[in-house]
Amino acid sequence: MEPTNLNNFQRSSTMRRSLRVSRNNSIWRNNNNVFNRSSRIDEDHEEALKWAALEKLPTFDRLRKGLLFGEQGVGANEVDIHDLCNQQSKDLIDRLVKVADEDNEKFLWKLRERIDRVGLELPTIEVRYEHLNIVADAYVGSKALPTFANFMTNFLEGLSETASLPPEVLVRSAYTLPSPDLTCGISLGPPGSGKTTLLLALAGKLDSSLKMRSLVTGKVMYNRHEMNEFVPQRTTAYISQHDLHVGEMTVRETLEFSARCQEVGSRYEMLAELLRREKEANIKPNPDIDIFMKAAATEGQETNIIIDYVLKLLGLEIRADAMVGDEMIRGVSGGQKKCVTTGEMIVGPCKELSWMKSLLDWIQAPETYNLFDDIILLSDRQIVYQGPREDVLAFFESMGFKCPDRKGVADFLQEVTSKKDQQQYWMRRDEPYRFITSIEFAEAYRAFHVGRKLWDELAASYDKSKSHPVALTTQKYGIGKKQLLKACIEREFLLMKRNSFVYIFKFTQLLIMALITITLFFQTDMPRDTMDDGEKYVGALFFGVVTIMFNGGFEIALTVFKLPIFYKQRDLFFYPSWAYAIPSWILKIPITFVEVGLWVFLTYYVIGFDPNPARYRKKKAMQNKDQVTFSNFLFP
């Protein structure tokens, strides 16, 4: 053959071979697709059969069972919610919220879509405050020092007249949290503008002495209900800037205790109604979402699933088993501790949360500022602006002030009302600048379209009967007295185990002191004849009492150190005072008996109070004999 024809033949042969190979590969690929498609069809069919079997169960049983997928999202198995282990719970959260910053919003929308699909109404809260006026007494200079003389002087002066600061006046307004679209607002203003006072008033955490002395006027209403008609401390929460936690507890244990005290499992009735409506409408929910909602509403499992979710949401998952720490114990970082403070309230039933100083560092970034929906700007105890974030710059431009392009909006809002920084934002070059006071801003805001709309909303009537039954919490504590006592006992026992070194040290110290004492008062037979003998008796007894008393002095330091944490949790209605005090008293009684028994066992016979242990039985027999003789004398 000619070379050209030979080359053509080789090329054609190569093409035929490659064609055959590609056909074979495509055939195998098609066969694989067929097999995969067939397996998926079988799995979907099997899942449908299992779901149909669940739908036939009574409502109570359907609330306890669900379809749980494997680690890769395949192989659905019917599980009992009560048997859901920690690893299964964690795997479920990982599938729902793999990356908290990216997937959490999608997860929340899935929850919302499932509820909206059956027309179930969620509880919402409208918070209104009208003509709120707060006056605080203050002493300046040396009179403010906490001395006994100042206390008596100020008390006597207070009986005749009250020295007060200018009142913090909050103009009539309304604020809604959370609305059906999950409104999130931020309060801005320079120091001393009244931000903290406003948030404390909304959360019902103002000092009770202010109300008793009629220093608080105006109204704060939730769904048009007065603050005395429900328990505001359990409906809303003010998250303090101070991170007060028990340093010996881990992050997970801290959140678990908070969840147990606040009762996170109050969603059972809502879930039962949701399942009933879905069954009537023949709606099949997402299995993972279904498992999550059932676990969050089932007693015994609600804390595990909610805590795993909160740990994932706050980025504390990798530090869940680390000690929180304090000044003496190394624990989590400051930022993580702030997240623990927030997580304590997120795991509870509170429907409105208020932060203060913890957000100041976060809002510096424009991206973080843009996450908020509404703005409340305060200055000199006046609300300068309240409304949508998109309209705040337009309001100040109408007043003649413009935010520079490279300036952060949050910084601009805090400086535009300041007398020192206001002039640099003046945009009307053809008009002379003059300082605009906070009162002028507040009056102009009422004429602005946002202010007019707000006043119209205030004028509209509100039907209190339309308030959701579970929107406002009326019970002071989340769980019963027995459950509260049990939770506090378990926490106290855990802290005793974590502080076991203290008790070992106490026993060792008591042992050493007992050995020293028996060498000091050593005598096998304590004489009882003279006054000097009595002094020895009294000295030995007094030394024993003092030793036992001072040996318990360690408990005073531990108790005082935990008092700020107790005050915080008591004011948040985690538990009453007796539930905190009784467990410590009960669990310390056995330790006290052991300490006293150790001291008596080592010193009683060596000191010579009674050198012969057998004499106790003889003395008891003689007493019984004397009683019999006396009885015979009386009744011969």
Greater confidence, 282 or 467? Answer: 282
Q: Provide the pLDDT for residue 288.
A: 84
The set of residues, in sequence order, having a beta carbon less than 8 Å from that of 362 and lying 6+ positions away, is 368
Beta bridge partners of 349: none
d(CA 92, CA 88) in angstroms, rounded, equals 6
pLDDT digits (tens, 9 = 90+) for 276-287: 888 888 888 888
Of the candidates 245, 343, 249, 241, the residue with the CA atom closest to the CA atom of residue 561: 245
How many Cα atoms occupy the beta-carbon half-sphere of 631 within 13 Å? Answer: 6
d(CA 602, CA 517) in angstroms, rounded, equals 9
How many Cα atoms occupy the beta-carbon half-sphere of 12 within 13 Å? Answer: 6
DSSP 3-state of 359: helix
**E strand segments, 102-146:** 126-134
Strands 77-80 and 374-379: unpaired
Residue 615 has which token pair?
A: 């004499």
pLDDT digits (tens, 9 = 90+) for 416-444: 988 888 999 999 988 899 999 888 998 89
Q: CB–CB of 494/578 below 8 Å? A: no
d(CA 229, CA 397) in angstroms, rounded, equals 42
pLDDT digits (tens, 9 = 90+) for 355-373: 554 444 444 456 677 778 8
pLDDT digits (tens, 9 = 90+) for 64-82: 777 777 665 556 677 778 7
pTM of the model: 0.76
Q: CB–CB of 185/373 below 8 Å? A: yes
Q: What is the mean pLDDT of the chain?
A: 76
Sheet of strand 374-379, all strands in order from the earlier edge strand to the far edge: 185-188, 374-379, 382-388
Residue 11 identity (one-letter amino acid): R
12 has pLDDT over 50: no
Give the confidence band of 389 by pLDDT, cuts at 50, 70, 90.
Answer: confident
pLDDT digits (tens, 9 = 90+) for 81-136: 877 777 888 888 888 888 887 888 888 888 888 888 888 887 778 788 777 777 76
If one counts every other C-beta atom within 10 angstroms of the C-beta of residue 163, the result is 12
Give the confidence band of 175 by pLDDT, cuts at 50, 70, 90.
Answer: very low
